[in-house]
A and B are shown apart, each in its own frame.
Chain A
Amino acid sequence: MKFGILINEGPYQHQASDSAYLFAKAAIDKGHEVFRVFFYHDGVQNATCLSSPPQDDRNITALWSELAKEHNVDLVVCVAAALRRGILDENEAKRNGKDAHNLADGFRISGLGQLIEAGIQSDRLMVFGD
């Protein structure tokens, strides 16, 4: 079965990111496909490579990057939500005249159309948020 996942909340706030990650892991372990994870609203904060939690804590951004690499999961960050919150890739940094970018490995910036497509292409769309 194909799963799409929508995350509307930042990491380390409540539990949305952790729940979504553990759900995605469990789904992959059971032989399902996670087609796409879409990060929207404060959920875009999951995508900053500058996140540096203490060593004995989980690094949520790194966990997502690893999942994307190992299982070919498409991690998409909403462009409007991301730019507002200072999450930029190299292109957006250039376009907006910024001297730094911070989008973590495995993530890409795109538009809401990707969420709609995830809803259409997936058998189930799982929503995690506040």
Chain B
Amino acid sequence: MLHTVNKSPFERNSLDACLGLAKAGSAILLIEDGVVGAIKGTTIESKLTETMQSSKIYVLGPDLAARGLSEDKLVDGIQVVDYGGFVDLAAENTAVQSWL
């Protein structure tokens, strides 16, 4: 299943809820303000690293760039995709859950 999270983990608990409920083998895509959660050195980093042992985490490149965040600031293992990659993820996974 593809999960999308669109709010910063420091504003809402949607990323935390998503990480807690996503099953192994999930794809989690951070979009809009959610991209803030992908930055290295925050309190949520260890949870992301732990999740990446069984699932994949992606971040939407254009939304990262729009916030002045560069890819070298990302937690290791998080992959950057563009809108085309977002579409591919939605197509590859059998269902999509938007955490709003």
Contact = CB atoms under 8 A, between A and B. Distances in A.
Interface stretch (B42-50, B51-59, B88-96): B88-96
Contacts of B84: 26, 29-30
Interface string A3-14: 100001000001
Interface in B47-100: 62-63, 82-84, 86-88, 90-91, 95-96, 98, 100
A32 to B, nearest CB: 7
A93 to B, nearest CB: 32
Interface size bucket, B side? 10 to 19
The bracket for how many chain A residues form the interface is 20 to 34
**Dominant secondary structure at the A interface:** mixed
A63 interface: no
Contact of A32 (B33, B82, B87): B87
Contact of A126 (B33, B63, B90): B90
Interface of A: 1, 3, 8, 14-16, 19, 22-23, 25-27, 29-30, 32, 123-130
